[in-house]
């Protein structure tokens, strides 16, 4: 499969190369680009130079056999020259392994070419002309070696070949070769040089163009990569083997609160890992460095992260490993789950609200049925108590008849309240003295409390302002709270109910606290105590409607009811209601019904 970027650049017109290359000196017009190419060449040429020097060394030794066959009388001199040249080749070969070779590789290659050529020139000078054509062949090999094998830059190679040809002609004229031999030899030398020059020019031009294309492709790929990362809605963070951030995109800046320049080079653990998870993160990263195995690569992990201000939030993270030459990087793609978690909580709350409304709807139906069924017997109780008061003369009986009549009338009002709630009728409000309501409740429940040995303590502020409320409904709320407290004290070693009525610090509300000395409510049950039909009492003792009705009545009055624990006591229910001056004498949210609460 072809890279489309490479195909695009390969279709560029040939003449476009000379927009970046000098056609005569064959170098990049941009000085910085030329330096980059020189560095690239230095990084990759050492091996080629060693192979070329080894080849030259072998050829020089191989042709020593020719010396023995042709000119045995001068063999010692010729072998001495070959020994010196091979020793210089060995020295240059050793130098190619040194760090300094990268800075001086072109002079080293030039000297190696000149050493090879001048070794042959020296042998030409000490041999007779009848054997010169054998050593002349070595000049042609030297030109080929210089232009194709040793890795000398084209401009340098061209100059080296011209020097070699010029020096050969000097030696040829000095030794008095026949003119036709000089012309013939030059013809072949120059032909070999021209072919080599053309080939060398083409090879280096292609190498430089490939280098330029690779830079362009790499640069554009890098730009494309950075653009894609910058456009990502997820935070993208790349770290190296030490755990330091080397990439930190704009989404990461927004998500974590760090600027890119602040984050780069910093430990990712210190940047985004919460303190409680730091040790686990460092242990996992150490294990990754030891084994090279990434935890759950490509899988979605849900965990906590921290921002610059140390606030924590939920994230979803996917890890990917990137193996580069000599480096092993890890890229994390991180998504903020805060909005998703909020949406999930809202959906759960809506689901709970829907379930609560369904229960309240059932409660409304139940209240209507209960009220209807209670009306008839209550009418009889009220009538009989009235008849008893009219016909009985005993003072004690009359008092009891009075209490029966009051309790029956109270029941009638409660039934009426039930019907109002079931029919979605708003409470009838007027200024109410909350202390008076509390005393009425105490009068009604006093006998039952004393029967169960429960001490009742009242702490009522005598100067409380009135609240605008339905007297009967408030009576019902406080009665339910006191009855609940009484039932909670059934097995308590100390039985105390304390009722406190005060004004809030901002003078805007009246707060009534009903506190008992019982065991309180388990923490995992407190969130459900105001749900309809939810009860912690034994079967047959409670219906689970009392607190739900209290909560509904309180909310319809613009108030609130909350549960808390009191040190040294048990459960505490706090009922808060706006004072009369802050409420208009009309139903609050008259469109709200018990089914909506």
347-389 pLDDT, tens digit per residue, is: 887 787 677 666 666 666 666 666 667 766 777 777 777 777 7
Integer angstrom CA distances of residue 316 from 20, 319, 490: 47, 10, 51
Q: How far apart are CA 94 and CA 50, in angstroms?
A: 9
Band of the pLDDT at 587, cuts 50, 70, 90? very low
The structure tokens listed for 405 are 């009549």
Q: What is the pLDDT of residues 399-444, one digit of tens each?
A: 787 878 777 777 776 666 665 555 555 667 888 898 999 998 888 8
Integer angstrom CA distances of residue 557 from 88, 393, 429, 441: 107, 44, 9, 19
Give the list of residues 6+ apart from residue 459 with CB closer than 8 angstroms, or none: 498, 499, 500, 501, 502
What's the mean pLDDT in 35-48?
A: 78
**% of the chain beyond a pLDDT of 90:** 2
Q: How far apart are CA 105 and CA 151, in angstroms?
A: 9
Domain ranges of the chain: 4-223, 232-336, 341-423, 427-597
User: In this structure, are strands 571-578 and 245-248 parallel, antiparallel, or unpaired?
Assistant: unpaired
Distance of CA 266 to the CA centre of its chain: 16
Lowest-confidence pick of 131-135, 235-239, 552-556: 131-135
SS3 63: coil
What's the mean pLDDT in 470-475?
A: 85
Q: How far apart are CA 334 and CA 308, in angstroms?
A: 16
243 dihedral zone (left: phi>0; alpha: psi -120 to 50; beta) = left
Strand ranges of the sheet holding 455-460, from the earlier edge strand across to the other edge: 455-460, 496-503, 509-516, 571-578, 560-565
Band of the pLDDT at 188, cuts 50, 70, 90? confident
Asked if pLDDT for residue 592 goes beyond 60, the answer is: no
Band of the pLDDT at 221, cuts 50, 70, 90? low
What's the mean pLDDT in 235-247?
A: 85
The structure tokens listed for 86 are 């091979």
Q: What is the pLDDT of residue 299?
A: 80
Helix axis angle for 101-126 and 31-62, nearest 10°, is 40
To which residue do tokens 């009549």 refer? 405
Q: How far apart are CA 483 and CA 547, in angstroms?
A: 11
Q: For the residues of 519-567, what is the DSSP string, one character each?
A: ----GGGGGGTTSTT---SPTTT--S-HHHHHHHHHHHTT-EEEEEE-T
Asked if pLDDT for residue 593 goes beyond 60, the answer is: no
DSSP 257: -
What's the mean pLDDT in 311-337?
A: 82
SS3 515: strand
Q: What is the pLDDT of residue 186?
A: 79
SS3 33: helix
CB 355 within 8 A of CB 533: no
Q: What is the pLDDT of residue 164?
A: 83
DSSP 322: E
Q: How far apart are CA 180 and CA 172, in angstroms?
A: 11
**CATH architecture group of domain 232-336:** 2-Layer Sandwich (3.30)
Band of the pLDDT at 15, cuts 50, 70, 90? low
With 0-12 / 13-18 / 19 or more C-beta atoms within 10 angstroms meaning exposed / middle / buried, residue 166 is exposed
Higher pLDDT, 224 or 66: 66
What's the mean pLDDT in 548-561?
A: 83
Helix (H) or strand (E) holding 345: helix 338-391
Q: How far apart are CA 457 and CA 438, in angstroms?
A: 12
Lowest-confidence pick of 18-32, 116-130, 304-318, 497-511: 18-32
Lowest-confidence pick of 89-98, 131-140, 436-445: 131-140
Integer angstrom CA distances of residue 462 from 46, 225, 436, 468, 477: 102, 76, 10, 18, 21
User: In this structure, are strands 327-336 and 245-248 parallel, antiparallel, or unpaired?
Assistant: unpaired
Asked if pLDDT for residue 178 goes beyond 70, the answer is: yes
Asked if pLDDT for residue 199 goes beyond 60, the answer is: yes
Q: For the residues of 358-394, what is the DSSP string, one character each?
A: HHHHHHHHHHHHHHHHHHHHHHHHHHHHHHHHHH---
Q: How far apart are CA 395 and CA 190, in angstroms?
A: 150
Helix axis angle for 395-422 and 471-488, nearest 10°, is 100
What's the mean pLDDT in 131-140?
A: 74
Give the list of residues 6+ apart from residue 5 with CB closer than 8 angstroms, or none: 217, 220, 221
Other beta carbons within 10 angstroms of residue 12's beta carbon come to 13
Q: How far apart are CA 556 and CA 468, in angstroms?
A: 12
The structure tokens listed for 462 are 């005598």
Common-topology check for domains 341-423 and 427-597: no
Query: CATH says 341-423 is which class?
Result: mainly alpha
To which residue do tokens 């990461």 refer? 252
Q: How far apart are CA 477 and CA 553, in angstroms?
A: 8
Q: What is the pLDDT of residue 372?
A: 64
The structure tokens listed for 338 are 């805060």
Tell me which residue of 416, 563, 403, 399 sits closest to 475, measured CA to CA: 416
To which residue do tokens 């985004």 refer? 272
Q: What is the pLDDT of residues 257-316, one digit of tens each?
A: 899 888 888 888 888 888 888 888 888 888 887 777 777 777 888 889 999 898 999 998
Q: Which residues pair with 334 in a beta bridge?
A: 235, 317
What's the mean pLDDT in 473-477?
A: 86
Answering whether pTM is above 0.75, one says: no
Asked if pLDDT for residue 2 goes beyond 70, the answer is: no
Burial 193-210 (b: 16+ CB within 10 A, else e): beebbeebbeebbeebbe
Q: How far apart are CA 281 and CA 330, in angstroms?
A: 14
Q: Which residues pair with 303 in a beta bridge?
A: 315
CB 576 within 8 A of CB 564: no
**% of the chain beyond a pLDDT of 70:** 81
Cα dihedral across residues 442, 444, 450, 454: positive or negative = negative
Q: How far apart are CA 449 and CA 498, in angstroms?
A: 12
Query: CATH says 427-597 is which class?
Result: alpha beta
Band of the pLDDT at 8, cuts 50, 70, 90? very low
């Amino acid at each position: 499969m072809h890279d489309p970027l490479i195909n695009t650049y390969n279709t560029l017109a040939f003449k476009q190369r000379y927009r970046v290359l000098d056609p005569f000196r064959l170098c990049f017009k941009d000085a910085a680009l030329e330096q980059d190419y020189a560095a690239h060449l230095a990084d990759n040429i050492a091996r080629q130079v060693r192979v070329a020097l080894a080849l030259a060394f072998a050829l020089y030794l191989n042709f020593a056999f020719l010396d023995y066959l042709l000119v045995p009388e001068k063999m010692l001199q010729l072998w001495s020259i070959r020994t010196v040249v091979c020793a210089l080749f060995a020295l240059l070969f050793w130098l190619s392994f040194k760090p300094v070779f990268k800075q001086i590789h072109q002079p080293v290659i030039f000297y190696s070419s000149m050493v090879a050529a001048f070794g042959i020139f020296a042998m030409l000078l000490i041999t007779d002309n009848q054997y010169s054509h054998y050593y002349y062949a070595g000049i042609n090999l030297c030109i080929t070696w210089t232009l194709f094998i040793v890795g000398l830059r084209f401009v340098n190679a061209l100059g080296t070949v011209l020097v070699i040809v010029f020096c050969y002609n000097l030696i040829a004229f000095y030794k008095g070769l026949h003119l036709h031999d000089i012309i013939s030899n030059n013809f072949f030398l120059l032909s070999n040089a021209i072919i080599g020059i053309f080939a060398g020019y083409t090879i280096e031009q292609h190498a430089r163009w490939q280098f330029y294309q690779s830079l362009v492709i790499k640069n554009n790929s890098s730009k494309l990569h950075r653009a894609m990362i910058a456009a990502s809605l997820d935070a993208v963070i790349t770290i190296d083997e030490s755990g330091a951030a080397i990439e930190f995109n704009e989404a990461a800046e927004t998500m974590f609160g760090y600027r890119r320049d602040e984050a780069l080079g910093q430990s990712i653990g210190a940047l985004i890992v919460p303190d409680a998870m730091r040790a686990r993160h460092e242990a996992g990263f150490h294990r990754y460095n030891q084994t090279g195995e990434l935890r759950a690569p490509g899988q979605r992990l849900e965990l906590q992260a921290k921002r610059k201000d140390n606030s924590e939030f939920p994230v979803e993270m996917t890890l990917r490993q990137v193996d580069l030459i000599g480096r092993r990087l890890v890229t994390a793609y991180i998504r903020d789950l805060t909005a998703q978690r909020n949406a999930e909580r809202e959906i759960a709350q809506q689901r709970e609200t829907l379930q609560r409304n369904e229960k309240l709807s059932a409660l409304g139906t139940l209240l209507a049925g209960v009220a209807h069924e209670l009306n008839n017997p209550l009418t009889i109780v009220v009538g009989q108590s009235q008849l008893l008061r009219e016909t009985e003369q005993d003072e004690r009986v009359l008092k009891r008849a009075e209490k029966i009549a009051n309790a029956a009338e109270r029941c009638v009002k409660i039934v009426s309240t039930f019907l109002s709630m079931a029919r979605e009728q708003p409470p009838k409000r007027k200024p109410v003295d909350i202390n008076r309501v509390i005393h009425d409740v105490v009068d009604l429940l006093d006998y039952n409390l004393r029967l169960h040995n429960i001490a009742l303590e009242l702490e009522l502020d005598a100067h409380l302002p009135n609240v605008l409320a339905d007297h009967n409904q408030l009576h019902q709320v406080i009665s339910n709270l006191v009855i609940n407290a009484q039932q909670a004290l059934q097995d308590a070693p100390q039985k105390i109910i304390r009722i406190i009525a005060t004004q809030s610090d901002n003078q805007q509300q009246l707060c009534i606290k009903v506190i008992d000395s019982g065991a309180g409510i388990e923490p995992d049950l407190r969130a459900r105590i105001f749900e309809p039909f939810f009860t912690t009492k034994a079967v047959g003792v409670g219906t689970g409607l009392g607190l739900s009705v209290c909560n509904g009545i309180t909310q319809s009055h613009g108030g609130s009811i909350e549960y808390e624990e009191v040190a040294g006591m048990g459960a505490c229910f706090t009922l808060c209601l706006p004072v009369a001056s802050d409420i208009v004498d009309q139903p609050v949210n008259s469109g709200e019904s018990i089914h909506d609460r």
